[in-house]
Amino acid sequence: MKVRGQFLIFLGSKAQINPDEFYTKDKFSKLLDKYPKKDYEALGKKLFDYFMSKNPDYFEQIKDAFVDFHKIFHYYLREERIGIINALEFRPGLMRFSENLNIPCGITFGVLKALMRHFKVRSLTFKHTKCRLDGEETCDYQVNWMVKNVD
């Protein structure tokens, strides 16, 4: 796996790093080990915000966002064994998916929260229903929001 330089910069790299170049997993792993786990969700938001600054036309509709969610991670991660995101269910007011990305789930959760807040939907709730840290093969997430019945 290779990681876009901008991800390394967000992790606090002090080295000269080109934000658009890809670097080895070893460099990524060393920086990630030093990054506070309590800040993973905030890091996920940074990743989403930077992705959107480079791709402002993405995610105009919530249903498309669910299908294209993986593109955020493919922007930062390249080559083999980056993991898979599976759509489990989508309907108005509910989205469920499963992932085994090669990054901590707290970061994925932060990206998901930033993505959903991008749509300014009301009454958002997030659940991390299954977790690799608990020995599961995947992390599963569920997002619920209030659906507007009248425009």
Three-state secondary structure call for residue 20: coil
Task: Give the mean model confidence (pLDDT) for residues 73-92.
Answer: 88
Helices then strands, each counted (H, E), the chain:
6, 7
Instruction: Report pLDDT digits (tens) over 8-53.
Output: 999 998 888 999 999 998 989 999 999 999 999 999 999 999 999 9
Higher pLDDT, 67 or 109: 109
Instruction: Report pLDDT digits (tens) over 62-72.
Output: 877 877 888 89
What was the pLDDT predicted at 59? 86
Higher pLDDT, 80 or 119: 119
Instruction: Report pLDDT digits (tens) over 41-64.
Output: 999 999 999 999 998 888 888 877
> What is the phi-psi region of residue 123: left when phi exceeds 0, alpha when psi lies from -120 to 50, beta otherwise?
left
Q: Read off the pTM.
A: 0.89
What was the pLDDT predicted at 149? 66
- Residues 101 and 125: their CA atoms lie apart, in Å, by 22
What was the pLDDT predicted at 2? 92
Q: Is the pLDDT of residue 150 over 60?
A: no
Instruction: Report pLDDT digits (tens) over 116-136.
Output: 899 888 889 999 999 999 999
CA distances from 70 to 29, 39, 98, 118, 150 (A): 21, 21, 11, 16, 31
What was the pLDDT predicted at 104? 94
- Residues 48 and 41: their CA atoms lie apart, in Å, by 11
What was the pLDDT predicted at 101? 92
